[in-house]
Amino acid sequence: MKKNIILLLIASVSLIITNSCKDYLNQAPDQGLQADQIFTKLDNSKLFFDAVYSGTKWSGSGWNDYNIKNAFPLYFDVWDQKYSFESVTDASDQGRYMEGQAWKSGNMSETIVNKLTYDASRRPILESMFTDIRISNITLKNVSKIQDGSDDDKNDLRGQAYFIRAFCHMTLMNLWGPMPYLDKVMGTNSTEWDVARLSKHECLTRIAQDFDSAYYFLNLAGKLRRDPPIGVPGHLTYGLYGNNNTGGYQMWRPNGMAALGFKARALLFRASPLNTEGAAGDWVEAAAASWTALKTCLDNGLFLLTMANRYQNFYGADCTDETIWNYSFGFLTWNGGWTNVTNCGMQTLHNGVFGESTGSNSGICPTQNFVDKYETSFGEPLNAQADRDAATLAGHYNEQDSYVNRDLRMAADIITNQSPAQNWLNGKAQIYYSVAAGIVTYSELLNPKYLGITRTGYYQRKYWWNNSTKNQVGAIVSDPLMRLAELYLDYAEAANEAYGPNGAAPGATLTALQALNAVRTRAGLPNVLPAYTGSTAALRPRIKNEQCVEFAFEGHYYNDIHRWMDLQTVMTSTLVGMDIEKIAAVGTYPQQFRSKRVPLSQDRQVVWKPQMYYLPFNNADNLKMTKFVPNPVW
**Secondary structure E strands in 333-474:** 365-366, 414-415, 433-436, 439-442, 459-460
C-alpha to C-alpha distance for 472 and 460, rounded to whole angstroms = 18
Mean pLDDT of the residues in the chain: 89
Given a cut of 70, is residue 55 above it in pLDDT?
yes
Per the CB < 8 A criterion, the answer to whether 591 and 622 are in contact is: no
Bridge-based pairing of strands 576-582 and 593-599 is: antiparallel
Strand locations in 455-545 (E): 459-460, 475-483
pLDDT at 310: 96
Contacts of 212 by beta carbon, 8 Å cutoff, 6+ apart: 259, 263
The predicted structure's pLDDT at residue 345: 65
Q: How far is CA 52 from CA 60, 161, 258, 278, 434, in A?
A: 21, 9, 17, 35, 53
Residue-level pLDDT at 408: 98
pLDDT-derived band of residue 386, with 50, 70 and 90 as boundaries?
A: very high
3-class DSSP string for 143-171? HHHCCCCCHHHHHHHHHHHHHHHHHHHHH
Residues 6+ positions from 205 with CB-CB distance below 8 Å? 270
For the chain, what percentages of helix, strand and coil (3-state, to nearest 5) are there?
40, 10, 45
CA 390, CA 383: separation in Å to the nearest integer? 11
194 or 349, higher pLDDT: 349
Q: Does the pLDDT of residue 32 top 70, yes or no?
A: no
What is the Cα–Cα distance from 299 to 85, expressed in whole angstroms?
33
Which residues, 6 or more positions from 445, have their beta carbon under 8 angstroms from its beta carbon? 353, 424, 429, 430, 431, 453, 454, 459
* 440-468 per-position pLDDT tens digit: 999 999 999 999 999 999 999 999 999 88
* pLDDT on residue 241: 59
pLDDT of residue 588: 85
Question: Which pLDDT score, from 0 to 100, does residue 80 have?
Answer: 77
- Structure confidence at residue 243 (pLDDT): 63
**DSSP 8-class letter at 13:** S
pLDDT at residue number 271: 98
Confidence of residue 22 (pLDDT cuts 50, 70, 90): very low
Residue type, 307: M
- Which is nearest to 532 in space by CA: 407, 410, 375, 394? 375
pLDDT in tens, 370-379: 999 999 999 9
CA 103 to CA 80: how far, in whole Å? 15
| pLDDT higher at 82 or 139 | 139
Tell whether the model's pLDDT for residue 238 goes beyond 70.
no
- Report the range out of 1-15, 26-40, 148-162 with the highest average pLDDT: 148-162
For residue 596, give the 3-state DSSP assignment.
Answer: strand
pLDDT of residue 309: 94
Counted residue by residue, the chain has a size of 634
Mapped onto helix, strand or coil, the DSSP state of residue 468 is strand
pLDDT digits (tens, 9 = 90+) for 245-256: 777 889 999 999
More confident residue, 129 or 26: 129
Predicted confidence (pLDDT) at residue 35 exceeds the cutoff of 80: no
Query: CA 542 to CA 393: how far, in whole Å?
Result: 21
- Share above pLDDT 90 across residues of the chain, in percent, rounded to a whole number: 73
d(CA 162, CA 174): 18
Given a contact cutoff of 8 angstroms between Cβ atoms, the answer to whether 65 and 129 are in contact is no
Instruction: Supply the pLDDT for residue 244.
Output: 65
pLDDT tier, 149 (very low <50, low <70, confident <90, very high otherwise) = very high
pLDDT at 18: 33
Phi/psi class of residue 143: alpha, beta or left (left: φ > 0; alpha: ψ in -120 to 50)? alpha
The reported pLDDT for the residue numbered 628 is 87
- Summarised one tens digit per residue, pLDDT across range 275-303 is 987 777 999 999 999 999 999 999 999 99
pLDDT in tens, 549-591: 999 999 999 999 999 999 999 999 999 999 999 998 777 888 8
Cα-based distances in Å from 328 to 224, 375, 472, 599: 20, 31, 21, 37
**Torsions phi, psi for 253 (to 5 deg):** -80, 140
| Residue 342 pLDDT exceeds 80 | no
Over residues 223-237, the mean pLDDT reads 84
Determine the residue type at 598: V
Q: Is the per-residue pLDDT at 5 higher than 70?
A: no
